[in-house]
Amino acid sequence: MTIPHSKSASRGPGSPDVVGFYDEASGSCQYICIDPATKKCALIDVVLDFNPARAHTSTECADWALDWIEREGLTLEWILDTHPHADHLMAAAYLKEKTGAPNAIGEKVREIAELWRDFYNTPDAFDPEADFDRLFAEGDTFRVGEIDVRVMLSPGHTLGSITYVVGDAIFAHDTFMQPDSGTARADFPGGSAAMLYDSLMAILALPDEHRIFIGHDYGAKGRDGPAWESTVAEQKASNKHLGGGVPKDEYVKVREARDATLNLPDRMLHALQFNLRGGRLPEPEGDGNSYFKIPANRF
């Protein structure tokens, strides 16, 4: 399978190599974050392939990443997600089953699970403590190899989104898009354009030379193919929604007007009940099959 990908090289000690790879079906950007000194790595926001027309899952993206890790002689230390995605199914459970590496997400997934128990009318569903090995809070730290990682709470797209700052690499998920595309939507349950603005400003307070790796790209006029890397300085200068210092009230007005025109992602109602289980299907029923539960007329 051909998957668009590229490598952003380490800039020296304490700076990771980053392999970005792309899922065309969902427009998702996924990452292998590597400490070159130890050859230890983390997988970030890896997609489990999904055909919504047939409710069928497959593992092409995840297997591509595992093949890369094996071919390069890397050791997987972490399976990381930035939030319970609404536009793709996460591969965390599959990756953990294949490798034994721990999986992690932000601690506010508990609050997101509470919201979606109501939407799905499943009061006993979702147990983040059981389905994730680590629930990160604002300011938590850990390591990928010998490289320090800091967790930033970055709400707005969801109320529980987190950013991983790995040396000089910022995994900014569904906050920024590429400068020519602006920023991510903030209209999902628990989302807020005002909170998103504050999260964007916190990321832009990091050093100008830090690399920003985003969660989605849908292309733009004037460039060929998907892209997922920029810098703090580039986003400050030329982001379509923020560049040059757009004030908060103006940003919120533009973001909310844009969001009001958007439909739900075609995977959303499948994805949340899967991702809030750590990347697992609902328990099989008496016939041995799992079934998605889709709420009608709730959105």
pLDDT digits (tens, 9 = 90+) for 47-100: 999 999 999 999 999 999 999 999 999 999 999 999 999 999 999 999 999 999
Q: How far is CA 266 from CA 189, 234, 263, 294, in A?
A: 16, 31, 8, 12
Tell which phi-psi region holds residue 11, choosing left (phi > 0), alpha (psi between -120 and 50) or beta. Answer: alpha
> Residue 1 above 70 pLDDT?
no
CA distance 163 to 156: 12
Contacts of 175 (CB under 8 A, 6+ apart): 154, 156, 157, 161, 163, 183, 184, 196, 199, 200, 203, 214, 215
pLDDT digits (tens, 9 = 90+) for 135-154: 999 999 999 999 999 999 99
Please give the CATH topology (third level) of the domain spanning 9-266.
Metallo-beta-lactamase; Chain A (3.60.15)
Mean pLDDT value of segment 27-43: 98
Across the chain, mean pLDDT equals 96
Q: How far is CA 200 from CA 104, 153, 228, 236, 245, in A?
A: 22, 11, 16, 10, 12
CA distance 62 to 68: 10
Q: Is-contact 215 173, C-beta < 8 A?
A: yes
CA atoms 291, 283, 162, 69: torsion sign:
negative
pLDDT digits (tens, 9 = 90+) for 216-234: 999 888 888 899 999 999 9
Length in residues, the chain? 299
Q: Residue 236, CB half-sphere, CA atoms under 13 Å: how many? A: 14
* Bridge partners of residue 212, in order along the sequence: 170, 230
- Per-residue confidence band for 164, with pLDDT thresholds at 50, 70 and 90: very high
Q: Enter the tokens of residue 8.
A: 């952003």
What per-residue confidence (pLDDT) applies to 133? 98
